[in-house]
Every structure is written in C-alpha cells, then in structure tokens.
C-alpha cells in the first residue's frame, strides 16, 4: 500500500517535512494539546474559556492546515499546498473569533456575506483535505452526501426531504452544530485528542515493547509460540491503542518473520497478525474512536461500553488462539526456543517493566471506577512518561520527545480531516430528515422480519466498511440503520455493537481487507489467499454479533448467573468450532475425516449459540466426534507400533 490514513509511506530515511515545517508542526501540536487540556479540565488559562464551537474551530485551525503539508500533492511541498494551509488557518481562526456572535445571531441561517463565502471555501478545503488524508473512496462518499440536500426536494420516497440552496447548505455544514462541528467533532475535541496522545506515548515510552516481551516470555516456548505471541501481544497493545494498522505494522514487523522462521506458511502468519490486530478495535479499554462516539450516541458512560465489549472480545481472541494452538499441534511445531531464538525471562521482563502494568490499571480505574473519561488519557500519559524515566533505556530525551510531538501532530491532522468529513454525512442526513425516513421505510420493507433487517444491517455495514474507516462507518450507520433495528425491539447497546462489529470486519475480509494487505506487505504472501484464510481465523467476529443481539447476556446485559453461563458455554463452543475448522481436537488428536470435522464445527456452533437446548445438542455432537477421533487415532498409533 502506498498510503495509510493520513501518512505517506516514503523510502526509509527520507523526511517528508523540512526542518521549518517540522518545527511548525511540533509548535502547533503543543498548542493544540494545551488548548484541549484547557478545555477538558476547564482551567481558563489566562482567562481563556472559549465556547465549544470556538474551541473546535481553533483545533481545526491548528491541525487541518498540516494535512496539506504532510500529504502534499506531489513529492515536495508546493506553493499551492502552503496556500491551502494558510487559507484554512485564517478562515478557521476567523470562525473561532466570531463563534459567540455567530451563535447569538444564528449565522447558520442569517450569516452576512463574509462568513458565507468563508463557509463555502472551508467546505471545499475540507473535501481536499479528506482526499489527501483518507483517500478517494471516503471522500467521494462524503462529497455526494454533503451535496444531497441540494436535490432532496425532488427525490422520490424516503429520499425526499428538506431542500437547501447552495449557500444555505454551506452555512449549515460549516457554521451550525449539525454537520462538521457536530457530535463526532465534539468527541474529537473532548476525548480523541487525549486518547491519541496516550496511544503514541504508550509506544514511545517502551510500554509496547514490555507487553510484547511479556507475551513472548509467557508463550514463546509453547507449540506455535510466535503465533500465540502475535495474538496476545496484538490484543494487549490494541486494547490500549485502538489502531488496527498501527498494530499490524508494529507488532507484525516482529511476529510475522518469527512465525515464518518457525515453520508457519507466510499467508498463515499474515492472517494471524491481521486478525489479531483487527481485534484492536473491539478490545477494551480503548477500542478506537468509534467506542467513544458510541457512548455519546447512546448516552451511557464509557465504562458501560467497556463491559459490554469485553466478553465478545475475549471470545474473538480465544477463537484465534485455539486455531493457532491446533495448527501447531497438528503440524508438530515447536516454540521459539527450539529455533535458537532467545525467549526473554518472565521474571526479568516483569522486573524491568512491571510499572507499565500500573499505567494500564490506572487507566482502567479512571475510566471504569471514577468515570473520568476525558481526564483519563492525560493522567495516564503523564504517568507513563514518568514511569519511563525509571530506566535509562526508556527515558525520554530531547529528540525522542520532539519525535513524539511530531507523531501526535501527524496522527491528529489525519484524524481531524476524516472525522470532520464524516460530519458532512451526518449533517446532510439530519438537516433533510432522510435518516429517520430511511429507518422507517426499511422496517416497512422487511415486513417486521427481525432477521432480514439484521442481515440487511450486516451487509450494509460490511459494504460501507470497505470504503470507510470503522469509525466513519459506525457513525453513518448509527444514524441510518440503528434506529430501524432498535424499532424491531432489539437492545440499544447490542444494536450499536452489532453495526460496529460488521463495519470492522472489512479489515480482514476480501476484497479490501486493509489489515491483510498491511500484513502481506511484511510476509510477502498473496493478499487474496491470505484474506480468505483471515476470514476463517476471525470467524467469531462474523457470528457473535448475531448471537449477542438476540441474547444480550453475551454483552453482560442481564442477571449475573445467566451472563456467566452464556459466556462459559460460548467459550466451549468457540473452542469446538475452532478445533473443527483446524482439524485437531485437544486430547483426541488430528481429525482425519471431513464429516467428523463437520460434526465438531456443528457442535461448536450450537454451543456458541445462546440457549440451553442448542447447548445440549452441541455437547452431544462434540462428545460423539471426540470418541470417534480418539478411537481412530489410537487405532492408527497401534498400527504404526
């Protein structure tokens, strides 16, 4: 891939920015972070307490211009890149300075000529910034939706809605709180800046290396050790960073070569890393940007999202882990140590980095117990930086600190363009009234058939997920699709997690499969074959949304005994399902016949599915298959003897 979100991939050692632009980016990033801290903690530094819209305009002014600088149209920054950056900065500062006046005088309806013209220009600038930061597909989608209100009065059926003139539409998108500067951008200012800072601090402080070494120390000597390390370390790192592609490129650069070296097929190694890294978006406590937006949409504490996502995330990683273990045992593979690669000592690893566990505990305490969602990442980032000073190897020096600030600036620049672009979609749907009409018509179309509407929701989520980030896909569907599903009587939290899961699945599903392409860049394997293998490895992600939406006990909703029973039977079901897919059952041996594998898969599926009747049927099939496989393997051993 030539481009990841917001970052041009250039030859190693080649700087994308000159010294001047690096200094400017770092300076602006520091200002942007301080501005966010001032707003989140309500410090009122120098008496500066902007209203929320002014604050968001200022953050836009700080980070949006650097999208044109970090992602120039050609390989070098040209005069027009600089011009676009300056114009974006000036317009955003102007809107920030006039935000209070704009609010009092309802400029979204009655703006004078100057802010109206500025709104049109900033709209165009954002579209170009999206093209550079997020790619053409998402940009085209956002552009089409942003222009939709120009013709909605002439459209048929549920697409018919309030229509706007071009200049009025520009004011709605830029000046009102319904579009670009609506809820997603407010979540960016309140939560995402802090958590993006935390994710990058975690990486540069040595915390990421500690979790990788801890996984290696725990699992490196077991059969298929490198693959298990990839699964667990990606889950641990992803739980704190929430970034799929970052996970693939960081842990994958170490784990994929190690897996191949110990006997794994390159496509299998890439599939394992792609699936493990994709779990970053569903593994608490951070889960990426969409989880914070979900909490705001539903109107629940973020801790509620964390608890709801925990059991499905564990089941997802359990399914990958079991397939890895079965593959290794079926192939007679060994751990890392047999290949001569040193495995770090568990005691030494904990001794050198135990304090990083404290940072993880602190984050969970602040999020779950105290519910300081906006404050948590800042406190934990400071704690990580202080803890990193304990050892000389992880201590931040001047250069590492400057590199940290630059990486934060680049990340936030790309993210703000994407989040704002998705705001255009929400704005168009909300001001025209199409979102509600779509949900109403969809329910009428399926004739109150719950399964059909879930299938429609899953397919829509998946298709949109191929052209959008998981966050963008979730935001769109939470407005368009979620109300229709909730209308059918499904749990609100389960509904939002359902569309979130199905939007995320595109990371490992062909034809797009961004996580797979990233992993294949390291393994040099065929992306198409690797993608379909990743589908099998991540099978739990395709099934569990349908299960937890019908039985919310899988997301911790309901009596504790019911939740525990459902979780335990689901764990057993995933173990059987994964064993059948891989053709190996622990304590029984290799499954030689295809029909027995089908028995095991069916038994696992039935136990995974909530309900005691299906559990009994699943147990019966599993016991039958176990007895047959064990008997066949014993007979085979006797013949060989």
| DSSP secondary structure letters along 310-366 | HHHHHHHHHHHHHHHHHHHHHHT---SGGGTPPPPPHHHHHHHHHHHHHHHHHHHII
DSSP at 8: E
> Residue 474: which of 143, 149, 158, 242 has the closest Cα?
242
Question: Is 535 in contact with 282 (CB distance < 8 Å)?
Answer: no
Distance (Å, rounded) from C-alpha 518 to C-alpha 129?
23
- Does the pLDDT at position 80 exceed 60? yes
Q: Cis omega (within 30 of 0) on the bond before 511?
A: yes
Cβ distance 501 to 305 under 8 Å? no
- Residue 18 pLDDT more than 90? no
Neighbours of 414 (CB within 10 A): 24
Instruction: Report the distance separating Cα 576 and Cα 166, nearest Å.
Output: 58
Quick one: which of 200, 190, 214, 202 has its CA closest to 383? 202
Residue 51 is given by DSSP the state -
d(CA 484, CA 486): 6
Q: How many residues comprise the chain?
A: 641
Give the closest residue to 567 by CA, choosing from 334, 377, 308: 308
**pLDDT(10) > 50:** no
Distances (CA, A) of 76 to 10, 211, 556: 12, 38, 52
Q: Summarize the confidence of residues 199-221 as an average pLDDT.
A: 79
Task: State in Å, rounded, how far the first CA of the chain is from the last one.
Answer: 52
Note whether 185 and 475 are within 8 A (CB). Answer: no
Pick from 177-191, 237-251, 253-267, 297-311: least confident: 237-251
The pLDDT tens digits for 486-537 are 888 899 999 999 988 888 888 888 866 778 888 888 888 888 889 899 999 9
Mean of the per-residue pLDDT values for the chain?
85
Q: How far apart are CA 579 and CA 418, in angstroms?
A: 40
**How far is CA 221 from each of CA 51, 218, 557, rounded to the nearest angstrom?**
56, 8, 38
Q: Which helix (H) or strand (E) holds 4?
A: strand 3-4
Integer Cα distance of 168 and 111 in angstroms: 9
Nearest Cα to 583, choosing from 601, 571, 602, 608? 601
User: So where are the chain's domains?
Assistant: 3-184, 186-306+329-411, 568-641
Give the strand pairing for 584-585 and 589-590: antiparallel
Alpha-carbon distance of 260 to 383, in angstroms, equals 37
Instruction: Tell me the pTM.
Output: 0.78
User: Residues 289, 276: contact at Cβ < 8 Å?
Assistant: no
- Convert the pLDDT of each residue in 38-62 to its tens digit: 999 999 888 899 999 999 999 999 9
| Percent of the chain clearing pLDDT 90 (strictly above) | 39
Banded pLDDT at 335 (limits 50, 70, 90): low
Which residues are within 8 A (CB) of 187 and not within 5 positions of it... i.e. 6 or more apart?
289, 292, 293, 296, 419
Tens digits of residue pLDDT in 376-396 = 889 988 988 888 888 777 777
Contact 214, 350 (CB under 8 A): yes
Helices 514-523 & 527-537 angle (0-180, nearest 10): 120
pLDDT for residue 524 = 85
Of the pLDDT bands very low, low, confident and very high (cuts 50, 70, 90), residue 120 is: very high
- Backbone conformation region of residue 112, classed left if phi is above 0, alpha if psi is from -120 to 50, else beta: beta
Phi/psi of residue 3, nearest 5 degrees: -150, 130
H or E element, residue 3: strand 3-4
Largest CA distance in the chain: 92
């Amino acid at each position: 891939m030539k481009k990841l979100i917001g970052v041009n991939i250039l030859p190693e050692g080649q700087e994308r920015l000159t010294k001047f632009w690096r200094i400017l980016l770092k300076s602006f990033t520091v200002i942007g972070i301080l501005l966010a801290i001032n707003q989140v903690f309500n410090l009122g530094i120098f008496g500066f307490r902007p209203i929320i819209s002014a604050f968001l305009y200022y953050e836009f002014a700080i980070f949006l211009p650097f999208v044109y600088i970090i992602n120039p149209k050609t390989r070098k920054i040209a005069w027009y890149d600089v011009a676009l950056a300056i114009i974006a900065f000036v317009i955003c500062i102007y809107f920030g300075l006039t935000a209070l006046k704009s609010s009092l005088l309802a400029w979204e309806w009655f703006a004078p000529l100057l802010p109206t013209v500025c709104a049109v220009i900033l709209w165009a600038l954002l579209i170009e910034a999206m093209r550079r930061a997020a790619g053409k597909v998402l940009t085209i989608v956002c552009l089409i939706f942003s222009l939709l209100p120009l013709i909605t009065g002439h459209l048929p059926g549920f697409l018919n809605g309030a229509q706007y003139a071009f200049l009025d539409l520009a004011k709605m998108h830029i000046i009102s709180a319904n579009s670009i500067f609506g809820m997603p951008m407010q979540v960016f200012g309140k939560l995402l800046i802090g958590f993006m800072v935390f994710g990058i601090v975690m990486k540069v402080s040595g915390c990421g290396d500690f979790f990788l070494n801890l996984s290696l120390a725990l699992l490196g000597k077991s059969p298929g050790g490198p693959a298990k390390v990839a699964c667990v370390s990606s889950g641990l790192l992803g739980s704190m960073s929430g970034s799929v592609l970052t996970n693939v490129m960081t842990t994958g650069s170490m784990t994929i070569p190690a897996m191949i070296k110990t006997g794994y097929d390159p496509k299998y190694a890439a599939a394992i890393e792609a699936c493990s890294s994709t779990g970053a978006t569903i593994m608490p406590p951070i889960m990426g940007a969409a989880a914070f937006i979900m909490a705001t949409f539903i109107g629940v504490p973020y801790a509620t999202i964390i608890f709801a996502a925990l059991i499905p995330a564990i089941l997802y990683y359990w399914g990958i882990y079991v397939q890895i273990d079965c593959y290794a045992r079926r192939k007679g593979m060994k751990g890392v140590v047999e290949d001569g690669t040193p495995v770090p000592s568990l005691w030494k690893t904990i001794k050198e980095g135990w304090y990083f566990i404290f940072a993880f505990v602190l984050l969970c305490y602040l999020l779950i117990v105290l519910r300081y969602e906006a404050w948590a990442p800042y406190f934990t980032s400071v704690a990580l930086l202080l803890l990193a000073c304990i050892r000389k190897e992880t201590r931040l020096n001047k250069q590492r600190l400057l590199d940290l600030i630059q990486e934060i600036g680049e990340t936030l620049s790309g993210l703000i363009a994407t989040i704002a672009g998705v705001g255009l979609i929400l704005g168009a749907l909300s001001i025209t009234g199409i979102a509600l009409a779509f949900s109403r018509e969809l329910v009428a179309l399926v004739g109150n058939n719950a399964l059909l509407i879930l299938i429609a929701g899953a397919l829509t989520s998946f298709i949109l997920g191929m052209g959008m980030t998981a966050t963008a896909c979730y935001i769109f569907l939470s407005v368009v699709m979620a109300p229709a599903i909730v209308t059918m009587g499904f749990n609100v939290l389960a509904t939002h997690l359902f569309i979130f899961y199905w939007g995320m699945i595109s990371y490992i599903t062909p034809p797009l499969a961004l996580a797979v392409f990233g992993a294949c860049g390291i393994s040099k394997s065929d992306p198409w074959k690797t993608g379909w293998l990743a589908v099998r490895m991540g099978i739990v992600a395709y099934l569990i949304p349908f299960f937890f939406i019908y039985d919310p006990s899988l997301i911790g909703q309901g009596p504790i005994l019911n939740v525990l029973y459902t979780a335990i039977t689901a764990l057993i079901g995933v173990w059987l399902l994964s064993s059948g897919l891989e053709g190996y059952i622990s304590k029984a041996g290799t499954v030689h016949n295809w029909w027995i594998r089908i028995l095991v898969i069916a038994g696992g599926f039935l136990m995974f599915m909530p309900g005691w009747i299906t559990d009994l049927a699943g147990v019966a099939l599993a016991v039958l298959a176990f007895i047959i496989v064990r008997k066949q393997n014993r007979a085979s051993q006797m013949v060989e003897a």
